[in-house]
Amino acid sequence: MKIAMLAPVAWRTPPENYGPWELVTSLLTEELVKLGHDVTLFASGNSLTKAKLKASCNRGYQEDSGQDAKVTEYLHISNCMEVADDFEIVHNQFDFMPLCYSKLIKTPMVTTIHGFSSERIIPIYKKYNKNTYYVSISYANRHPSLGYAANVYHGIDLSQYQLKTKPAEDYLLFMGRIHPDKGTHLAIQIAKKAGRKLIMAGLVQDEEYFKNHIRPYLNDNDIRFVGNIGGKLKTETIQNAAALLHPIGFEEPFGLSVVEAMACGTPVIAFRKGSMNEIIEDKKTGFLVGDVSSAVNAIQHLSSIDSAYCRNYVKENFSKEKMAENYLNIYKNILQ
């Protein structure tokens, strides 16, 4: 099958550290190539892939601040759409903007909706609802006014997340964007009330929030911030944690860090919002809670979670192989 994969262009595909959309796009692309499909990845020029790479910029606009983000985005999108007729499927991983081309090309377009940044973007999704194929990443993130071809959960590369082979250390972990939506300040409250150490890792997305609500609590003893980490250091930090804290304050569409933690056998304590009911098996791969006090209480029961069960659960439901299989079924159904 000949597939055009349109990645986001904020970061490299795959990203060096932060960049969840780019990461998922990369995992799917490489798995489709592995399965023998002819895939062209439209991404930044510094992207790493075994597919054919087509780029209209050398680096993502978050990596090169000299670029105008909107100009970079539209040059990137048009780079794909102007050759869309060369493909059997165009897979849009790049939000709502490419939809505006969907009536101008003959090739069917599949759009993975990674989330809705605002209710204000819904009119574009509604306008193109009948001539493209929407895929949700969780049932919780489906918009009632849209039709969907399927739901496909994100998958991860299990080989990058090894099951822990030694007892967890005593620290709790927060891993994600440093932003009120992610509840970083609540993770601090949970750790302090539980009398446990906390390591925080992630991209500082809201500088004022970090300055006023996070930085005052940082020290070299019990509350540490290690920045936006990736690779082996990220994996080891997850493996060694007693639990991942995920006290989100919004209806999160998915949660890659949650799946990554469970793949390492690290239980997750998450607020029961958005997709968490779909991703976490309560009391088996972690705990779904409603507030800080309930999260503190759940920490007392971490020993009841079987690490091997957590990993097998991810293998069965959230592997890159499963994700690729599901998308191929969508492509085939469209082309029948």
Q: Are 267 and 259 in contact (CB under 8 A)?
A: no
Q: What pLDDT was estimated at residue 298?
A: 98
Q: Where are the alpha helices (DSSP H) in the chain?
A: 20-34, 69-81, 122-127, 184-194, 207-209, 231-240, 256-263, 276-279, 292-299, 307-317, 320-335
Q: Do 94 and 188 lie in a common domain? A: no
Q: Do 293 and 330 lie in a common domain? A: no
Q: Do 311 and 165 lie in a common domain? A: yes
Report the phi/psi class of residue 19: left, alpha or beta, with left for phi > 0 and alpha for psi in -120 to 50: left
Q: What pLDDT was estimated at residue 285?
A: 98
Q: Are 242 and 286 in contact (CB under 8 A)?
A: no
DSSP string, 196-248: --EEEES-B--HHHIIIIIGGG--SSSEEE--S--HHHHHHHHHH-SEEEE--
Burial class, 195, CB count within 10 angstroms (exposed 0-12 / middle 13-18 / buried 19+) = exposed
Q: What pLDDT was estimated at residue 165?
A: 85
Q: Which two tokens stand for residue 295?
A: 């999260």
Q: How many C-beta atoms surround the C-beta of residue 131 within 10 A?
A: 12
Interval 292-325: pLDDT, tens: 999 999 999 999 999 999 999 999 999 999 999 9
User: 113 CB contacts (<8 Å, ≥6 apart)?
Assistant: 125, 134, 135, 136, 137, 141, 253
Q: Do 100 and 194 lie in a common domain? A: no
Handedness of CA 30, 48, 318, 180 (dihedral sign): negative
Q: Do 145 and 178 lie in a common domain? A: no
Q: What pLDDT was estimated at residue 102?
A: 96
Q: Which two tokens stand for residue 96?
A: 């709502």
Cα distance between residue 196 and residue 299, in whole Å: 10
Q: Do 174 and 142 lie in a common domain? A: no
Domain count, the chain: 2
Q: What pLDDT was estimated at residue 204?
A: 96
Angle at 199 between CA 197 and CA 201, to 5 degrees: 170
Q: Do 79 and 197 lie in a common domain? A: no
Identify whether 14 is preceded by a cis peptide bond (ω within 30 of 0). yes
Q: Do 129 and 192 lie in a common domain? A: no
Cα distance between residue 71 and residue 97, in whole Å: 12
Q: What pLDDT was estimated at residue 17?
A: 83
Q: What pLDDT was estimated at residue 220?
A: 86
Q: Which residues of the chain have pLDDT under 70?
A: none
Q: Do 133 and 203 lie in a common domain? A: no
pTM: 0.94
Q: Do 145 and 194 lie in a common domain? A: no
Q: Which domain holds residue 291?
A: 158-316
Q: Which CATH number covers residue 242? A: 3.40.50.2000
Q: How many C-beta atoms surround the C-beta of residue 211 within 10 A?
A: 11
Q: How many C-beta atoms surround the C-beta of residue 283 within 10 A?
A: 13
Q: Do 229 and 129 lie in a common domain? A: no
By C-alpha distance, which of 93, 143, 105, 137 is closest to 123? 143
- Site of tokens 């569409």: 253
Q: Do 178 and 94 lie in a common domain? A: no
Cα distance between residue 219 and residue 6, in whole Å: 42
